[in-house]
Copies of this chain bind each other. A is one copy, B any other.
């Protein structure tokens, strides 16, 4: 936890908050917090700041917080993900928030089993704490927006254009020869939307649908990766391509 994430409504008008449970436990045992010590804090979808420990004991931790003005920028990548096995999805929530995505759209695909969508790992009461855990790790405050859309066709044909206009569109396809850096043009300011398929891959029909709607197929070499590993690898490559281009602009 490199940041203590707070909800606006937890803070009183003097910027004070009394923590109990997981965050208090972390401050006491891992950070070995003492009265007078300062910690990184952040408001959910708001600015970063520092929290000074006023009091710490078995019953909880009292912080007085001061926040900066600027809210961290929304990560420039959105992920369209074919629902993986629930066991894999469970592991993914925190990693995705840590890597940084603006939106996560979970969808169906031919090689997705229907019962995956009945899993409790898609309930916000289950995943929201995991998204927060990922943000606390990465020291960010922007919680990814989560959409669950079980119909791939209207999503690709229609809805995505409304939600995420003007994005550079990529679809992960192990057989593609083009790489991420080949299709992200230099100096773009657009968002990047990347579609990552199920364990068995997108079907030929699905790949055609994506390509007919402006998605560039990109590969990551010959090794077949599990969805969670593939997502982290893909997000690392996209974020690197966006940073490289930002850097070379100066």
* Chain B residues positioned under 8 Å from A225 (CB to CB): 98-99, 137-138
Of B91, B100, B139, B233, which is within 8 A of A236 by CB?
B233
Task: Return the chain B residue nearest A137 by Cβ.
Answer: B226
Contact with B along A89-106 (1 / 0, CB 8 A): 001000100111000000
Is A221 part of the binding interface, using a Cβ–Cβ cutoff of 8 Å? Answer: yes
* Chain B residues positioned under 8 Å from A50 (CB to CB): none
Is A78 part of the binding interface, using a Cβ–Cβ cutoff of 8 Å? Answer: no
Asked whether B179 lies within 8 Å of A98 as measured between CB atoms, the reply is no
Asked whether B2 lies within 8 Å of A224 as measured between CB atoms, the reply is yes
Asked whether A138 lies within 8 Å of B237 as measured between CB atoms, the reply is no
Is A217 part of the binding interface, using a Cβ–Cβ cutoff of 8 Å? Answer: no
Of B100, B181, B240, which is within 8 A of A223 by CB?
B100
Q: Which A residues from 117 to 160 make CB contacts under 8 A with B?
A: 137-140
Q: Given A100-B223, A224-B139, A180–B240 Cβ distance below 8 Å?
A: yes
Closest Cβ of chain B to A130, distance in Å, is: 13
Contact with B along A201-224 (1 / 0, CB 8 A): 000000000000000000011111
| Most interface-central of A137, A138, A180, A229 (chain B CB within 10 A) | A229
Is A232 part of the binding interface, using a Cβ–Cβ cutoff of 8 Å? Answer: yes
Of B140, B222, B223, B243, which is within 8 A of A98 by CB?
B223
* Chain B residues positioned under 8 Å from A110 (CB to CB): none
| Most interface-central of A139, A237, A240 (chain B CB within 10 A) | A240
Is A244 part of the binding interface, using a Cβ–Cβ cutoff of 8 Å? Answer: yes
Closest Cβ of chain B to A94, distance in Å, is: 8
Closest Cβ of chain B to A70, distance in Å, is: 14
Is A55 part of the binding interface, using a Cβ–Cβ cutoff of 8 Å? Answer: no
- Interface residues of A, Cβ cutoff 8 Å to B: 2, 91, 95, 98-100, 137-140, 179-181, 220-226, 229, 232-237, 239-240, 243-244, 247
